[in-house]
């Protein structure tokens, strides 16, 4: 990933790694929707769905996984220690652009979590079993369960989104406290100079006494 910035502030190696991360994120989203979710439904569901034409997860689940995987990979690549040195890799890129992309990916992930939860309520009919295989009763219970589930998702989602977006995950890097602007701490040399200056200013007043 080392090298000179050539394309939009990215080195050739860094740009290749970012493209690979995006491709893997997309692959993870497609895999989760078309393979993992149907298998989980077949394991945990009690009965076939009333409308069993579509066995795949909603598309919002795919994009939720894509956004989360992209955010996680960029955050891992940009992790730094207290000295500002990269820990996991040494990317050459536009740090401001990557930070913006991470924020967009995280906000998109939160929105898609809420949308996916809202859409997954439609799959509750696979967990409702009635005696005698009464389809009308199943439809009625499924309708009530979906209405309650959607209301719960909307109410919980309002509070979750309002709290989570305002407090986005902190970046993996940290700055040394002594380097923060306006920090109350100071180095030993700077503190000594301040102390000597303070004593020099008070010395004439002591001698007059």
Nearest one of 14, 21, 16, 20 to 68, comparing CA atoms: 21
> What is the Cα–Cα distance from 26 to 23, expressed in whole angstroms?
5
- pLDDT-based confidence at 193, cuts 50/70/90? low
Q: What is the pLDDT of residues 2-56, one digit of tens each?
A: 667 778 788 888 899 999 999 999 999 999 999 999 888 888 877 777 766 667 8
- The three-state (H, E, C) secondary structure of 27-61, written as one string: HHHHHHHHHHHHHHHHHHCCCCCCCCCCCCCCHHH
Q: What is the pLDDT of residues 84-138, one digit of tens each?
A: 788 888 888 888 899 999 999 998 998 899 899 888 888 887 777 766 667 777 7
């Amino acid at each position: 990933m080392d090298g000179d910035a050539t394309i939009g502030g990215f080195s050739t190696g860094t740009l290749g790694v970012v493209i690979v991360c995006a491709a893997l994120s997309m692959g993870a989203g497609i895999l989760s929707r078309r393979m993992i979710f149907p298998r989980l439904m077949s394991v945990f569901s009690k009965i076939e769905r009333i409308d069993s034409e579509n066995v795949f997860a909603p598309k919002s689940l795919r994009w939720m996984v894509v956004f989360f995987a992209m955010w996680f990979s960029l955050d891992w690549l940009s992790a730094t220690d207290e000295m500002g040195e990269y820990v996991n890799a040494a990317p050459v890129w536009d740090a401001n652009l990557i930070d913006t992309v991470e924020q967009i990916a995280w906000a998109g992930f939160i929105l898609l979590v809420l949308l996916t939860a809202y859409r997954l309520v439609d799959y509750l009919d696979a967990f409702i079993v009635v005696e005698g295989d009464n389809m009308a009763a199943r439809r009625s219970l499924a309708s009530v369960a979906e209405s309650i589930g959607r209301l719960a998702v909307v109410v919980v989602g309002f509070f979750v989104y309002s709290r989570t977006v305002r407090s986005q995950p902190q970046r993996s890097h940290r700055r040394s406290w002594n380097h923060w602007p306006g920090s109350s701490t100071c180095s030993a040399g700077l503190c000594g100079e301040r102390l000597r200056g303070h004593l020099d200013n008070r010395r004439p007043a002591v001698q007059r006494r």
